[in-house]
Every structure is written in structure tokens, then in C-alpha cells.
A and B are shown apart, each in its own frame.
Chain A
Amino acid sequence: MNQIAKEKIPIRAGLIRVDANGRLILLGTHCPRCGKTFFPKKSICPSCFVDEPLEVVELQGKGKVYSFTIIHQGPKGFKTPYATLYVDMPEGVRIFGPGFLEDFPKGFEIGMEVKVESTTLDVNGEGIPIMGFKFIPKE
């Protein structure tokens, strides 16, 4: 039987990249006028609305939990229970992402330090592997 390796599709073009060590990096944009950083990336700064290209910046991918929940009734493609988190990044963005219970043996807490890591998502349970990201404890 032919085993066709399914190529993972990035969750959205230009949102993430994987470096030579296999590490996932979140890509944002930075407005040189107002100094704000955006994630996901913007083609134009929604604050200044000046038609100048924004700089693509790589986020450090580490931050502190602003809030979280453990979801017991989830959408297709997500095995419950799983967590979702809002994480405050040092670049000044609050980023949403999932966290899986097996990665957090000590549980979740507001203020705890987490980092992003790549994960495969099955959006809507359609069997198409999507390369996305999740949060895991920093240490």
C-alpha cells in the first residue's frame, strides 16, 4: 500500500515559520511610525493607516498567561478536555492559542510563563493536517 506523506499546511500563509532546528517562530509586523507590533501580521497599520510597508518581525514566542480555560465541549478536530489561553508577549501583543493537558502536568495558572511550540491541528475534523501552534510551560 502506498503511504503518501501528507504535507502539513501552515495554518495561514506568512503567520509562522520553522527554523533550521525545527523550532516554530511566530511572525508579526511592526509599524515604524507608532511602534506597535501586530500578530497576526497586517498589510497596513490599523492605528496609523499610512500606506507604508510594515516590517516583518519574529516574536520571541514566550510570555505570561493572561487567562485560560479548560474546554470540555469543543469543536470537531479537538479532543476534549483541552485548554485555551491568552498569553501576553513582551512585544505587547496578547496571543490566543491552545494548550494540551499532557503538556501541563502541574496545571494552569494566571501569570505562569509559557512558550509556543508547533503542533498539528485537524481543523473541523476533516483529516487535513494543519501546522499550527500551541503553548507549553516555559521550563
Chain B
Amino acid sequence: MREVYVIGVGMTRFGKYPDLWVEDLGREACIAALKDAALSPKEIQAGYCGTSNTGRITGQRILKEVGITGIEITNVENACTGGSTAFRQGYIAVGCGLYDCAIILGVDKMYGSGGLIPPNLEDLEGILGRTLPGRYAMAARRHMYEFGTTLEQLALISVKNHRNGVLNPYAQFQKECSLEEVLSSRMVAEPLTLLQCCPVGDGAAALILGSKKMSKRNPKHAIRIGATTVLSGEFQTTSTDLTKGNQVIKAANMAYEQFGGGPQDIDICELHDAFTIGELIHYENLGFCPKGEGGRFIEERKSEIGGEVAVNPSGGLLSRGHPLGATGVAQFVEVVWQLRGEAGKRQVPGAKVGMTQTVGGATSEIGPASCSVNILYR
């Protein structure tokens, strides 16, 4: 694989947009990314669109609005990992030399879908009453049982991410909340309260990937891709260990190996905090702290901006919001802004290496159906 760079980024503010079409959201993100890269639409040679909830041929419907037509366009559905998977596809295409320049788009509209993501009817656990917050809640309960993790430690993750979201003009929620407010908000699935669950919302994000030749047009602007991975869940009838993500651990190890580094090298990480317990377990999965010590890691403020690794400086899914297909791409947008030093009030000083991580599609027997861990650096 040859070197691949992110040479342009853009996104909409995430939120509830009942009056906007998917095309409106996608167009705004694509135009912002094209302008950021100072590219004409005619220079884009391929497009990859991650989405779950927006009907067929979403990529073509959006890209034709910005003058990107008559090229290879691929639509990717991979639940919460859709955007990251689209990125991986674009990386492969540019990395192997097939194209010099590709656009990656993530978009979704969740508002109006009722709050809970419905199960596939073929999914036995779904029919028997499993909800996604419920699955994470069972993980939380087991983590508390095995490692003594506390309700307060879980709630602190929500407090941190909401505090970060206040500093992010693209976040759906830009409002702080106290520990007491998190703990006393409405119960969704015990022990997870409403403020420990990501909101329902809409939005889009876009990236332009380029070869080294393309990156030289504006070298200070370009951020190098150090590692990309996408993995499916592994069959596990007998050992659905809810307190860890086997595939996330595997993907993280693959990413560290590709990059030639380890968890200690990561300055910022945008990870999958669809629920507070998710972020806590991912501290452990990604190697930021030993197994079972995620609660202490947040309590000792090691994941704050200014801590050992700034986790979800954007506000994460909890505060920036979680339009499924858009999430993975929005994580890259945030990491690129951070590594360029363009993240405004939430800037992590001196950030040089950033990670993104998504996981999604809870499915009987394989747990999360997909996950992705990636590293960017300058």
C-alpha cells in the first residue's frame, strides 16, 4: 500500500432536522470537504458512502448534487461502523493506486425512527426483547459485578463528554450536565439513564482522501493515515463476554502493528460511546488502561482534554450525536481538525497522533457485527 492522506474534511452540525432531506445534509458536508481540500468536484475519482437509514443509492443521490457523477460510487451499510467501513474502502482504493483522489461520505437520518434501533426480525435476541441500551446495560452490570465499577464512574463519562460538546459548534448537545443530573435522568435500561445514552439525530460528514502527490498541493493541511481496520464479529456461542470486545482488541492490535506504535502514542481518540459503559470498556479494549480499570481511568481524569489521552474531545456520540453512517466519518473529521490544530476551544495541545474507533450491529452469537480502529498522524 502506498501512502494515503486525508486532504479535506467537512461536516454538518448533528441534530434533529425534520425539514431537511438526506441530500441537503450530505451536500453541505461534501461542499465543505471540497472547499477545505481546495478541489474541484471533477477531480474526485471515486466515492464511498456509509449509511444505514436513508434508502438506496444514497451516495449517488447526494454526490450528483455537488457535481460528482459518472465515476465509481459505492454505498456501504455496516450499522454504526458504516462510515468507518466506507473510509476503509476508499483507503484501499487510493492506497493500492487505483485512484489518486476519493470522497468518503457518511450520512444518516435517525430522527423520527422512534429512538430505539429496531432489531432485524431474523435476530432471535431482538425478537425476545433485547434492545441496544439493554445489551450495554447488561455489560455495565457485569462490569460492575466483576470489577467493582461504580454508577458514578459511568456517569462521569457522560459529564466529560457533555463538557467537551459545549466547546464543539458541530455537536448536537452543547450543554453541560452535572453528575447528579446524569444519575437522576430517566431510566432507560438499568443502570443506564437517559443522559448515558446517545441522542437520536441526523447529520453528515465527508472526507477527501488523496495520494502523496495530491497531498503536496497543501502539505500542512494533509494528515497521513497510519492504520485502518474493519473486522466482523466472531462466532461465540459459549463465551459472550460482555465486559470486553474481543474484536475491538484484535482490531486495535492490528492498528498498532500497522502504525508501528502502541496505546502510549495516542494523543486523542474519538471512540464509540453510544452508551457510557461503551467508552469505559473501550479504554480497556484499546489498551489505554488494564482490564477492569476503566472506572478508575475516568475517575482519575486521564481521558479528559489535557489528560493521558483526550477521549472524545468532540463530545463523542453522547454529545456530538450519532447518525449511524455519519459517525465514523465525523470521528475522522474531528481527529483531522485536532491534528491540524484547528479544533478551537476544545483543541488538545500538541496532538500528533489520533485514533478513531467504532463498533456496531449487536447480533446474536457474534456480538457486535462490525468494528473498526484507525490511526491518523502528522
Contact = CB atoms under 8 A, between A and B. Distances in A.
B261 interface: no
Interface in A60-79: 66-75, 78
A96 B138 CA distance: 11
A80 B142 CA distance: 22
Nearest to A89: B238
B244 to A, nearest CB: 13
Given A84-B138, A110-B145, A73 B116 contact: yes
B141 A73 contact: no
Contacts of B192: 69
Interface string B178-208: 0000000011111110000000000000000
Contacts of A38: 237
Contacts of B318: none
Interface residues of A, number: 37
A86 B138 contact: yes
B113 interface: no
Contact of A46 (B121, B190, B235): B235
B65 interface: no
Given A73-B115, A75-B118, A92-B238, A123 B127 contact: yes
Which of B127, B142, B191, B364: most chain A CB closer than 10 A? B127
Interface stretch (B35-43, B128-136, B166-174): B128-136
A122 to B, nearest CB: 11
Given A74-B131, A84-B130, A94 B239 contact: yes
B288 to A, nearest CB: 24
B242 A11 contact: no
A40 B239 CA distance: 15
Contacts of A40: 124, 364
Contact of B188 (A39, A72, A93, A97): A72
B137 interface: yes
A73 B189 CA distance: 7
Given A67-B138, A69-B134, A70-B189, A47 B235 contact: yes
Interface in A18-43: 36-40
Contact of B128 (A47, A69, A98): A98
Chain B contact residues: over half helix, strand or loop, or mixed? loop
Nearest to A69: B137
B125 A96 contact: yes
B127 A93 contact: no
A137 interface: no
Contacts of B190: 69-72
A94 B237 contact: yes
B120 interface: no
Given A36-B237, A94-B237, A94-B238, A82 B129 contact: yes
Interface in B349-376: 364
A71 B15 CA distance: 26
Q: Which range holds the interface residue count of chain B?
A: 35 or more
A6 interface: no
B240 interface: yes
A121 interface: yes
Contacts of A92: 237-238
A84 B364 CA distance: 14
A96 B141 contact: no
Which of A38, A86, A93: most chain B CB closer than 10 A? A86
Contact of B141 (A39, A68, A93, A132): A68
Interface in B225-261: 235, 237-240, 242
Contacts of A96: 124-125, 128, 130, 364
B238 A84 contact: no
A106 interface: no
A6 B129 CA distance: 22
B133 A73 contact: yes
B129 A75 contact: yes
Contacts of A82: 129
Which of B121, B140, B240, B242: most chain A CB closer than 10 A? B240
Nearest to B129: A98
Nearest to B119: A75
A37 B239 CA distance: 12
Given A39-B237, A86-B240, A110-B145, A69 B189 contact: yes
Interface in B135-169: 137-142, 145
Given A69-B189, A72-B190, A93 B128 contact: no
A12 B123 CA distance: 10
Given A36-B237, A94-B238, A71 B124 contact: no
Interface of A: 11-12, 15, 36-40, 46-47, 66-75, 78, 82, 84-86, 92-94, 96-98, 110, 121, 123, 130, 132-133
Top 7 A-B pairs, shortest CB-CB distance: A69-B137, A67-B142, A67-B138, A98-B129, A70-B190, A96-B125, A72-B187
